[in-house]
Amino acid sequence: MKVLTVVGARPQFVKAATVSRAFAALRPAVDEVIVHTGQHFDQNMSAVFFEEMRIPQPQYQLELGGLGHGAMTGRMIESIEEILQKEKPDWVLVYGDTNSTMAGALAAVKLHVPVAHVEAGLRSFNRAMPEEINRVVSDHVATLLFAPTEVAVRNLASEGIAGARVVRSGDVMYDAALFYSAMGSGQAVAALGLRPREYFLATIHRQENVDDPRRLETIVQALARCARELPVLLPVHPRTRKMLAHSGLDRLLQDERLRLVDPVGYLDMVQLEKDARVILTDSGGVQKEAYFFGVPCVTIRDETEWVELVECGANRLAPPGAVQTIVDAALAAMAARHQPVQGLYGEGLSADAIARALAAAA
């Protein structure tokens, strides 16, 4: 069986690492071909992940980052279609909710190649988010849908997607957290002059936040206020850095207690997450990693697709309409405790389940 895996963005590399390792254990019965669209294309956002996480090097590098949604998705579909016609895979495997996800799914289904979607069934119910469109379209063209949670299974059922097509697989990011959390050097926090449990860790990159000057300014001012309590570390996504400079908001980030650094590798990021007092983020993956490591999280968005984390008290939503909303959530999270929910994201064996299900379906 040949599986063609399409990835392009940092969160997908984390997920793909676990499943690629499971495929390798099934060789020669399973042959994987990896296509990297280039949606995230620089060293800190891409190459370092393949090196650190021991992901097989992609057989195809499309280098299609830095474009608008329409141009990027269109060129990805065109390029992936050519690869599909050459490789003739039995399955196309896509992850998550990026332009790369939807492009891979659409290119495959138009050539009648079955699609498997990992992280299926997530819904924010906000169609203004490009990610929501990507995940809905990918789910509705997929042949096999790997849902990480019971909530995701119910979301799919409400849209008429049920039965043997849907597999409650658990979350491959939990697999990754368990496998990679012990592999770091342990020096990331000290190297930045920080002490465990004595800093906020923040990540901001979503279009709805960084492309809206009012929301971005609210977030920056809130982080500056949080820095009065504890230092704030902000690994800056290239998109965010560009918009901070364009809007002039980088002038508000001169406080030495508010540290901007370039994106870090996965192993260092895991350590920074594990040792943070509170994580403030608009990332879906970071929300879950905070939960895996028992760190309180504040999600700076109007809604989250990981609703179970809010329901169990591990995560607080803080819509960036007012500075004080974010600050209050961060301060409350500093004193928060939550009880892990047994089996919420599986038992750390999701990648093996996915690999076996695809092999059995071939």
Q: Exactly one of 40, 205, 246, 338 is catalytic; which is it?
A: 205
CA 65 to chain centre: 17
Among 227, 232, 5, residue whose Cα is nearest residue 116: 5
Task: Return the beta strands (E) in the chain as ranges.
Answer: 2-7, 31-36, 60-61, 91-95, 115-118, 144-147, 166-168, 200-203, 232-235, 258-261, 278-281, 297-299, 315-317
Residues 6+ apart with CB under 8 A from 24: 32, 56
Sign of the torsion formed by the C-alpha atoms of 127, 329, 246 and 261: negative
246 counts as catalytic: no
Residue 191's Cβ-count burial label (10 Å; 0-12, 13-18, 19+) is exposed
Q: In whole angstroms, what is the distance from residue 172 CA to residue 15 CA?
A: 6
Among 15, 12, 359, residue whose Cα is nearest residue 172: 15
Rg of the chain taking only CA atoms, in angstroms: 20
Residues assigned a catalytic role: 205
